[in-house]
Amino acid sequence: MPRLPIIVDGDCDSRFDRVKQVFHNNFTQRWESEGAAFAAYFKGEKVVDLWGGYADSTSHRKWKNDTMTLLFSSTKVI
């Protein structure tokens, strides 16, 4: 199956452009095989809200800001 185009969308404060770059690399380096989303708050303000990839790569359904997923161990670093 041919590789689907890399899609990353969302908002990112310019102070956190490196976060957006690393998120994008998850797809270009094939560390993420389907889709993902990431959000971060800094001092109570949402500064990163990104999503990318595919919710269903077979049907080419893109990951969107409201795509639902299971969440595992998200607070280990907190």
Residue 32 maps to a domain: yes
Residue 2: the pLDDT is 63
pLDDT attached to residue 69: 83
* Structure confidence at residue 15 (pLDDT): 97
64 to 10, 28, 43, 49, 76: CA distances (angstroms): 9, 18, 26, 11, 25
| Domain contains 43 | yes
Domain annotation covers residue 3: no
- Rounded Cα distance between 60 and 15, Å, is 32
Residue 74 lies in a domain: no
Tell whether 68 is covered by a domain: no
**How far, in Å, CA of 34 to CA of 19, rounded?**
19
Question: In the chain, how many domains are there?
Answer: 1
Does the predicted model carry a pTM greater than 0.95?
Answer: no
pLDDT along the chain (78 residues), means of 10: 83 97 92 89 96 89 90 65
In a domain, 16, yes or no: yes
Q: Whole domain around residue 26: which residue ranges?
A: 8-62
pLDDT of residue 5: 87
Q: Give the pair of three-digit tokens for residue 65.
A: 């800001």
Give the pLDDT of residue 33: 78
